[in-house]
Amino acid sequence: MLVLNDVARQYNNKAAVSAVSLTVDRGSFVGVIGRSGAGKSTLLRMINRLVDPTAGTIAFDDIDVTRLSGKALRDWRARCAMIFQQFNLVGRLDVLTNVLMGRLNKVSTPRALLRLWSEEDRAIALSALEQFDIAGLAAQRADSLSGGQQQRVAIARALVQEPDVILADEPIASLDPRNTKVVMDALLRINKHYGITVMCNLHSLELARGYCDRLIGMSAGRVVFDGAPELLTDDVARGLYGLEADDVIETAPVAKPELSPGDAVAVAL
């Protein structure tokens, strides 16, 4: 069980996340939604400790994540894998090595530096790649793959960490609709088949409603909605997304503005 208590993060006196308290049950699939800059990324990064909270505590079972350092911190990071919007693979290395990097925490440093992976580690990595239908690409350089393939490699890397939690930060924001489905299905499979907790930042409400058991809506660094997807009405969503709401809520038909040449157009960014 992941418990966040009054967690906050400030950047130069500007609050990115303020006073967030959450309890995430083991095995749940949680979607974190909200507009850009709402603090979703910072929240996820604080759980992995890529970003340190300026206040509050994060705990997993009986581990106080906020106090960890050194080896204990690296162990915790291995237990809560991250998936990034830009995949964060090492482009110049082959796919298999990229996946095997997920096992670094479990291999002795000299062996890892010399890339002497054990048979077991190779088997685990290839098995993970097979699950996402990309085992055939194992020998290719990661930067020669398409975006969707790269994200699947990143998910395989996360999976071979044998984590308890997977934190996915906008995993599909750079992908086309078909790959979006492939990647979200992969996350769902990890969640259901392995019972790994997934926390996923999403921009699209439709996807969040389709895949998640629970949604957390953030606005200006605070949690403003927390509940089952059914409870997130269009009105709540409108409050979450403000001006963007009509772009995000697919059910509401987007009215095409009727303009004639010369009209002033206000563009919401």
Partner 1 sequence: MSVNAPEIAPSAGRLRAAALADLGGLRDRHGVHFRPSMRRRILAIGIPLVLIALAIFAMVVLNFSLVRILNGLHRLGQFAILMMPPEPQGRFVAFSIALGETLGIAFLGTLVAAVLAFPVAFLAAKNVIPNIFAHFAVRRAFDVIRSVDTLIWALMWINVVGLGPFAGVLAIACSDFGSFGKLFSEAIEATDGKAVEGVTASGGSKLHQVRFGLLPQVLPVIASQVLYFFESNTRSATIIGIVGAGGVGAYLTELIRVLELQQVAFLILMILVTVAIIDFISSKLRLAIIGKAKIV
Interacting residues with partner 1 between 15 and 74 (CB under 8 A)? 26-27
User: Looking at the DSSP assignment, which residues form a beta bridge with residue 225?
Assistant: 217
Q: Which of 12, 71, 108, 139 binds partner 1 (CB under 8 A)?
A: 139
CB atoms closer than 10 angstroms to residue 210: 14
Binding residue (CB under 8 A) for partner 1 from 124, 182, 184, 218: 124
Please provide the DSSP assignment of 75-132 as one string.
Answer: HHHHHEEEE-TT----TTSBHHHHHHGGGGGGS-HHHHHTT---HHHHHHHHHHHHHT
Query: Beta strands 63-64 and 197-202: pairing type?
Result: unpaired
Binding status of residue 143 toward partner 1 by CB under 8 A: no
Q: Is 189 in the site for partner 1 (CB under 8 A)?
A: no
Query: How distant, in Å, are the alpha carbons of 17, 135, 139, 235 from that of 92?
Result: 35, 18, 12, 47
Using CB under 8 A as the criterion, what x/- string covers residues 150-179 for binding partner 1?
---------xx-xxx---------------
Q: From the CB of 168, what's the least distance to partner 1, in Å?
A: 15
C-alpha 45, offset from chain centre: 9
Residues 195 to 254 in contact with partner 1, rule: CB under 8 A: 195-196
x-or-dash string of contact with partner 1, 70-109, rule CB under 8 A: --------------------------x---------x---
Cβ contact 31:215 at 8 Å: yes
Residue with tokens 């957390």: 216
Minimal distance in Å, beta carbon 177 to partner 1? Answer: 24
We find the least distance from the C-beta atom of residue 138 to partner 1, in angstroms, to be 6
- ∠ CA(22), CA(230), CA(184), 5° rounding? 75
Report in angstroms how near the CB of residue 72 gets to partner 1 at its nearest: 13
Site of interaction with partner 1 (CB under 8 A): 26-27, 96, 106, 119-120, 122-124, 126-128, 130, 135, 138-139, 159-160, 162-164, 193-196
